[in-house]
Chain A
Amino acid sequence: MIRLSWLQFRTQAVTAAAALAAFAVLLAVTGPHLASRYAASGLSSCHGGNCGTAVHTFLSQLAVTSPYPIVYLLGIALVLIAPAIIGIFWGAPLIARELETRTFALAWNQSITRTRWLAVKLTLTGLAAMAVTEALSLMYGWWVDPIGKAINLGTTGDLANPFAGGRFSSLIFATGGITPLGYAAFAFTLGTAAGALIRRTVPAMALTLVIFAAVQVAMPLWVRPHLIPPDRTIAMIGPVPGDDQAVGLDYGNLTAISVPGQPGAWIISSGAISAAGQQISALPFACAGYGAKAQDPGQCLTSQGYREAISYEPASRYWPLQWIETGIFLGLALGLAGSCFWRLNRRRS
């Protein structure tokens, strides 16, 4: 059965290997240059306040130097989209195409139970799906490492486009670590289960895409922030870029740009509150800087009795969060795989 699975999977496997190879070449060609730019930027030896400026310089120069922004975005897109593509083109047809072309009558009348038939197919293709996605993630992780390190050092103000943020940011979190394994397994089994349910390849592909995209949006927005209850702190507001005691703010919406004493933390929500505990969403008039007297808004807020309330996940929770998120998707994948077995054995036709 393993040999038959391979026979039928060959074409897709070759396509995937070719795509991986092409991406690897692109990364191998541009990666060393990126690393040498990082080495030349002096970021590896900066400390304290110097870093912010150095990071800003490094990233804003990189942002206008082809091909780095393109490869940066392409890499994120590939790692995020690869599971969807796998779900659509490997998962959805796995059962649906056999049902559509009625070849299942051929497959299931050999001397092998359909449970075993499906088990081998799911295992083989599922492992390939996970391997391909994780390989993409690891390759990209190697390439993007200098950018990630720079962003981790902290920067002044907004990141230069297109750099999306640190490893906790919505887009980046699911491209690194072990989450690609979970996403790949989930998308693949989702496609397979959709195919077993709808019994037609193209509608199953569409359903797979819709559900997977929805899950990919829902996860960072509504699920991930609640996986581990965040820590909370109320911090002094300090001047930008902030230091170990006081927090720097984005004065547009009064959100914190870092957590004092918690480098690399993931800020889930933050806002300025008055001494009475009232939350404000914009600079109070007294600090808005209208008029002649220009004052640092941070000092102004502090003098008015405002503090910054922050809920955040410390940097040390990166791996626990990775494990939990991956575990959730692997669990979902197992459930979906189970539903395929159930469909095949219970509702026969």
Chain B
Amino acid sequence: MSTVIETSGLGKAYRRTWALRDCTLAIPEGHVVGLVGPNGAGKTTLLRLATGQLTPTRGTISVLGARPAASPAQLARVGFVEQDTPVYARLRVADHLRLGAWLNPGWDGELAQRRIGQLGLDPRQRAGSLSGGQRAQLALTLALAKRPELLLLDEPVASLDPLARRDFLRGLMEAVAEHATSVVLSSHLIADLERVCDYLIVLVASQVRIAGEVSALLAVHRRLSGPRRDPGTLPAGQDVIEESHTDKQSTLLVRTGLVRTGGPVHDPAWTVTPVSLEELVLAYLNPANDIPARRPRLGVAS
């Protein structure tokens, strides 16, 4: 399986502060990838490195097998929607579509027109007077009509109200399904990711905490609850991601070595329940949790 983004020891420093450090990952093609992390984790930096807006301080990054933004042809293969979806305030909606057509050899004018029509945007309206949701949709339209192989979106829905957010993600999913585009989407809104992503990367303090297909991740994580006990007494092959204890009870979020499908395992005293994506993400996001070194590289080309 080929990758859309592959990094090795990737790092980016601003003066002396590292925004991203020692990031090694391989994102397989054909997924809608959620890039999750707290503010300042390096999500934006990673995406800007992938679009070639930034150049790495250390390490390497290749996007669709080539150096980001190396040539017009490479630029044509990658679409990008910037944080807060900037558009030219003084240009009209129609002007944006025209500039897209002028600057992109693979421009799908029909798609752009159709989307603008569906969204009910007035082509003569100045982009500066659009609502946040409309502006985001315009930016997405520009990125989609370019017909990229890979679409990168940096917090595209962060500033949108729930309705606009839903519409934006729906539009994104429709287009992705239609054109089989790979997508990498950064967000800290887990509910949104749950709705659209089938692959997840958790980035904390510029390090990849976990990466893999959502279904596989959910399959190997379990919540165990039962009488209080020391997590060290768990059988081998079970990594504790998160633990919480009361006087009588222990609750553990564990990663199992093998994919087991439901049912009580290990110890009849434990209640085993599946975890939701949100619980899983929160467990990995929590910097207090010391994630065991062995990372499941499920679904990751190596």
Q: A: which residues have CB within 8 A of B?
A: 1, 3-4, 7-8, 11, 101-103, 105-106, 108-114, 116, 346, 348-349
Contact = CB atoms under 8 A, between A and B. Distances in A.
Contacts of B73: 111
- Residue in A1, A11, A103 whose Cβ sees the most chain B Cβ within 10 Å: A103
B264 interface: no
Contact of B79 (A109, A114, A346, A349): A109
A103 B81 CA distance: 11
A24 B106 CA distance: 46
B72 A111 contact: yes
Contacts of B143: 109
Interface in B50-78: 51-55, 69, 71-73, 75-76, 78
Given A106-B142, A349-B53, A113 B72 contact: yes
17 contacts: A1-B102, A1-B103, A4-B102, A7-B91, A7-B99, A8-B88, A101-B86, A101-B88, A105-B80, A110-B146, A111-B73, A111-B104, A113-B72, A113-B75, A116-B72, A348-B52, A349-B53
A113 B87 CA distance: 19
A110 B53 contact: no
A3 B101 CA distance: 11
A247 to B, nearest CB: 61
B103 A112 contact: yes
B119 interface: no
B156 interface: no
Contacts of A4: 99, 102-103
B189 interface: no
B28 interface: no
A238 B142 CA distance: 79
Interface in B96-134: 98-100, 102-106
A11 B72 CA distance: 29
A105 B139 CA distance: 11
A109 B78 CA distance: 8
A11 B84 CA distance: 26
B288 to A, nearest CB: 32
